[in-house]
Chains A and B, each alone.
Chain A
Amino acid sequence: MNLTDEQLERYSRHIILEQVGATGQEKLLSGKVLIIGAGGLGAPAGLYLAAAGVGTIGVIDSDSVELSNLQRQVIHHTPDVGTPKVESAAAKMRAINPDVTVRTYFDRAGPDNLVSLMSEYDFVIDGTDNFSSKYLINDAAWFARKFFSHAGILRFSGQLITVHPGQSACYRCLFPDPPEPGAVPSCSQAGVLGVLGGVIGTLQATEAIKYLLGEGELLTDALLTYDASSMEFRKVTVRRNPRCRLCGPSPTITSLEQQDQAVCDLSGSCKC
């Protein structure tokens, strides 16, 4: 791949970086990232990945933009209310950077489509808003052997971890037992400071970019937590759980269909 004059100018602040250069920028332009959920986390991730020149960005979401989304989902604008989120998000990403090919999936990520969808991408960003989806993405990434960034936000807090399936701790290693339905409040019940999505979603995009570049150390085997009240980041070292039902030596989850969906019902009652 040869960068055009326009690309040399557009990406000049990347290219001047020792860790990126023209070679790194070409890696980004050939990179493929799947964003699951075009909401609070997916919005900033999508904007920055498009600006960075990640060549192919897939976005899957089955919702349409609502007025109450706009406090934090910065990829959607007021005139987009009522539009499918994937269309709204794709329009902004294409407007930022015509180099980017955006693939949209106006669909819910489910056990039937997720593994094959992930296999078309290099890196996956979990920007979903419910436990059922987060466990599903973790499990699908294991079966697809795909790197992904997990994250969650609530009230004034957020956290994230990058998973290298089979090599580093997975979401189930850390959280073996899904919470009882109703035990954990959702953002719509408990609220979330709008900027949290920006902080955490941008960190997820950073991990995707580092992965594509092959630069730096990924946030594997460490849960990074952020408390906006105290302005404290903490990196909690974790390790693979030998009793993990998914990636441990004696797994009991051997296919996606087996995943227990009782975590939260799929009707959206646990959604943010």
Chain B
Amino acid sequence: MEITVNGDAVTLDGPLTIARLLVEQKVKMPDMVSVEHNGKILDRAEFETQQVQSGDTVEFLYFMGGGA
């Protein structure tokens, strides 16, 4: 299936969960990521259950605490 991850077209075997997608996309620090799935921000607890389907759009938003 083809989905869009952070603006890029990605082809994956699917469907799969958000948690699995984080692994497949080699996100190094999943604890540092907030996930927007088809425009909706997910709770962390949903990562294991939320399914990603063909055509979906996923954005990984990263925690960035620096500034000084």
Contact = CB atoms under 8 A, between A and B. Distances in A.
B59 interface: yes
A237 interface: yes
A238 interface: yes
A16 interface: no
Interface in B1-47: 6-7, 29, 31-32, 34, 36, 39-41, 43-44
Interface residues of B, number: 21
Contact of A184 (B31, B67, B68): B31
B63 A175 contact: yes
Nearest to A190: B66
A196 B59 CA distance: 22
Contacts of A225: 62
Contacts of A187: 66, 68
Interface residues of A, number: 48
Contacts of A90: none
Interface string A27-64: 00000000001011110000000000000000000010
A127 to B, nearest CB: 5
Given A157-B62, A159-B62, A238-B41, A179 B67 contact: no
B31 A179 contact: yes
Given A184-B32, A238-B36, A271-B68, A243 B63 contact: no
B36 to A, nearest CB: 7
Contact of A37 (B6, B44, B67): B67
Q: Which of B7, B31, B61, B66 has the most CB of A within 10 A?
A: B66
Contacts of A153: 64, 66-67
Nearest to B60: A236
Nearest to B68: A39
B6 A234 contact: yes
A175 B65 contact: no
Interface stretch (A1-9, A111-119, A129-137, A253-261): A129-137
A234 to B, nearest CB: 6
Given A223-B61, A236-B59, A238-B41, A41 B29 contact: no
A197 interface: yes
B63 A179 contact: yes
B44 A129 contact: no
B42 to A, nearest CB: 9
B68 A127 contact: yes
Contact of B61 (A40, A130, A174, A179): A174
Given A152-B64, A152-B66, A176-B34, 5 more contacts: A134-B65, A152-B63, A177-B34, A234-B6, A238-B36
Interface of A: 37, 39-42, 63, 69, 73, 126-131, 134, 151-154, 157-159, 173-177, 179-180, 183-184, 186-187, 192, 197, 223, 225, 234, 236-239, 241, 243, 264, 270-272
